[in-house]
Amino acid sequence: MMQTLNVALGERSYPIHIGCGLLADAALIAPHLKQKKAVVVTNTTVAPLYLETLTGALARSGVAAQPVVLPDGEQYKTWETLNLIFAALLGSHCERGTTLIALGGGVIGDMGGFAAACYQRGMPFIQIPTTLLSQVDSSVGGKTAINHPLGKNMIGAFYQPRLVLADLSTLDTLAERELAAGLAEVIKYGLIRDPDFFVWLENNLAALLARDKAALATAVARSCANKAEVVAADERETGERALLNLGHTFGHAIETGLGYGEWLHGEAVAAGTLIAAELSARLGWLMAGDVQRIERLFVRAGLPVQAPALGAARYLELMRHDKKVQDGQLRLVLLERIGRAVVTDAASTADIEAAIEARCRCA
């Protein structure tokens, strides 16, 4: 059965539909189109699997959908690839009322959304996420961006979609590594604001790894509900929304330092979350048993719990590009306890360095 949540942003509110077989149901998409024309941005991995299903459904409802197929991978989240989207939009004489549909994972959603925000100063945008990570996190909330060699997601815009369509059937073809990467973001919600969900994940992780549809539906819906509440309260990340970045400051440093695509985003977030947990314990907030409990869940999910040995100095250099830096002061999302996160600048450089070294592979 389909579940529908709502991201409450006044006149810019939009639904999140979650269920199986939704990709072929054009009736869920058509009401959000301004005209009978759309552009579907996808990649070389997703296109052979799901592009025909989507464009065929749209065609049967009278919507002409032109595909734009991009190379797959975090390393292609660049200006050069973004310009391929703009070239296709211009070449097809797309108007401000033409809808851009992003069909794929987080990279496609981020780039498609950024292109939609920029083209003719804004065109309608729909998210159809096909990975667990994008279904539970990046497709919801309107963050769009591309990477820069000096920092991940540093060039972008807040731009909300008109609709998020999360078809759980697309997770059947997801590689195990990608599934695990998505679980990192699912676990995050339990850690930052939903302790009962964290317990549920401890009890149901095996079902999620087995791709049990009922378990996946619960995990996706609970994650999206958490994120929708945060986004509704703080759309542009001036306060509470920053808590969604648990593990991300360290994780983005890992992705940038290793080279985009070497580690998946969720893998870097998992290792980064363990650094944050280690640091939280050093500040006297988390108990050692809490850190071990968090580590056990990430290990069971098949995620890394040790960060690459870039060196503490290199981590700090990369982390200075983090978007939570204010007046030159690095702020981090840390855990007071499982289920409660805070944004703080209370950690000293020495504490941060010690936590990084404790959680690096060389330690």
Nearest C-alpha neighbor of 159 from the set 139, 135, 143: 143
| Catalytic residue flag (residue 245) | yes
| Catalytic residue flag (residue 340) | no
| Catalytic residue flag (residue 252) | yes
* Dihedral pair phi/psi, residue 58, rounded to 5°: -65, -40
DSSP per-residue codes, 264-302: -HHHHHHHHHHHHHHHHHHTT-S-HHHHHHHHHHHHHTT
Catalytic residue among 265, 282, 323, 359: 265
Q: Please report which residue ranges of 121-247 form alpha helices under DSSP H.
A: 132-133, 176-192, 195-209, 213-233
Query: How far is it, in rounded angstroms, from Cα 304 to Cα 319?
Result: 20
Catalytic residue among 248, 282, 323, 331: 248
| Catalytic residue flag (residue 143) | yes
Catalytic residue among 241, 282, 323, 359: 241
Catalytic residue among 11, 80, 121, 203: 121
Catalytic residue among 17, 77, 143, 282: 143
Catalytic residue among 77, 152, 188, 252: 252
CA atoms within 13 A on the CB side of 146: 19
| Catalytic residue flag (residue 77) | no
Pair 147, 77: CB distance under 8 Å? yes
Question: β-pairing, 151-158 with 163-167?
Answer: unpaired
| Catalytic residue flag (residue 237) | yes
| Catalytic residue flag (residue 52) | no
Catalytic residue among 178, 245, 255, 267: 245
Catalytic residue among 237, 255, 267, 278: 237
| Catalytic residue flag (residue 185) | yes
Catalytic residue among 74, 185, 235, 255: 185
| Catalytic residue flag (residue 323) | no
| Catalytic residue flag (residue 36) | no
SS3 98: coil
Pair 352, 268: CB distance under 8 Å? no
Cα–Cα distance list, 17 to 7, 52, 128, 226 (Å): 11, 20, 10, 15
* Dihedral pair phi/psi, residue 52, rounded to 5°: -65, -40
Catalytic residue among 17, 227, 323, 331: 227
Residues assigned a catalytic role: 121, 143, 185, 227, 237, 241, 245, 248, 252, 265
